[in-house]
Amino acid sequence: MIKMTKTSSIALAGAMALALTSAVPAMAAGDGPEIAKKKWSFSGPGGHFDKNQLQRGFQVYKEVCSTCHGIKRIAFRNLVQPGGPEFPEDGVRSLAATYKVDELDGNGKVVQRPARLSDRFPSPYKNEAEARSIHNGANPPDLSLIAKARGVDYTGPIWYHPVSMLKDVVTGYQEGGADYIYALMTGYKDNAPAYRRDATGKLTEVAETSIQRGDKTILRCVSVEKVAGKPDNCTAMADGMNYNMAFPGHQIGMAKPISDGQVKYTDGTAATVSNYSADMAAFASWAADPTHDQRKSLGWQVMLYLLVTSILLYVAKKRLWREVH
């Protein structure tokens, strides 16, 4: 019976390893953008949001992102509550009054009134059709849950993928959305990479500093496909698109959203794209999970309760059964 159990265990372990390995290629195909994991204040089981960073992130959203993107799942009162930006209530109440929301009057007609703390942020558009008409057919995504809807794909070797997954489980990694948003906002480049084709049809990347003005032999490629026995294929930038290192396919319709010095911080933080991107990524992460800090705090309280309960149950068990043992 013991031999059968060991054999079954080995077979089960082999099947699990095969299942993990077979699932890896979808995540590690090799062509996906490699996005580095960034250290955040809210990382890990004990992490929490930095209210100063969230306040700066909201400023970036308000002055830059809100022109195109809404946060319809966030209410004005969330900006006041603990665990968030924690703005003064009077200030948020005044901010809410600058927005107009629809409601029904006593006659059943739709009228507009100033927003209250209990109201959610209204969309910058009347409807989806208006949004698409403004953005050449594209509908800018709402940012309320964007940090949950985006993530970071594994791009390393196949054999290491199960180890990477286990590491993420142990460390409680849930910041893929924030890492993606940061990489996207900082990943814009003025031009796609430059390549020169040799006599055999192979494309070799060329440094920008070595390119002569008016050089007709230079190709701008967002990606290069190498085919055995054939010339390399160059995928050029489509009209109206922008090159971005972090976006899948490396070309995106959204223009570079922000530049150095565009938003003036009042707390002395440097006005750089890197800081703007980190603050906006943190704010989007909070918007997707406004109860993040309370949830982690409650989780630690539950763990402590279970630990104390386990100790008491163990002591009670030893006392009750000491005569038997």
Q: Residue 166: which CATH number?
A: 1.10.760.10
* DSSP type of residue 213: T
Write out pLDDT tens, residues 121-131. Answer: 999 999 999 99
pLDDT above 50 for 11: no
| Domain assignment present for 316 | no
| Domain assignment present for 317 | no
The two three-digit tokens of residue 120, written as one number: 């959610």
pLDDT at position 217 is 85
Give the integer Cα–Cα distance in Å for 166 and 2: 29
Give the integer Cα–Cα distance in Å for 32 and 26: 10
Give the chain's radius of gyration (CA, Å).
27
| Cβ 168 vs Cβ 156: under 8 Å | no
- Is the whole model's pTM more than 0.85, yes or no? no
- Among 12-21, 144-153, 304-313, the range scoring the smallest mean pLDDT is 12-21
CA 60 to the chain's CA centroid: 16
The total number of structural domains in the chain stands at 3
The two three-digit tokens of residue 8, written as one number: 């079954």
**pLDDT level of residue 16 (50, 70, 90 thresholds):** very low
Whether residues 39 and 140 fall in one domain: yes
pLDDT above 90 for 262: yes
Whether residues 59 and 206 fall in one domain: no
Whether residues 166 and 99 fall in one domain: yes
pLDDT above 70 for 250: yes
| Cβ 52 vs Cβ 84: under 8 Å | no
Give the integer Cα–Cα distance in Å for 241 and 220: 13
One-letter amino acid for residue 90 of the chain: D
| Tokens 């979808």 -> residue | 26
| Domain assignment present for 146 | yes
Whether residues 202 and 154 fall in one domain: no
Whether residues 291 and 179 fall in one domain: yes
Q: Which range of residues forms the domain containing residue 18?
A: 1-27
pLDDT at position 322 is 80
Whether residues 108 and 18 fall in one domain: no
Average pLDDT over residues 217-238: 91
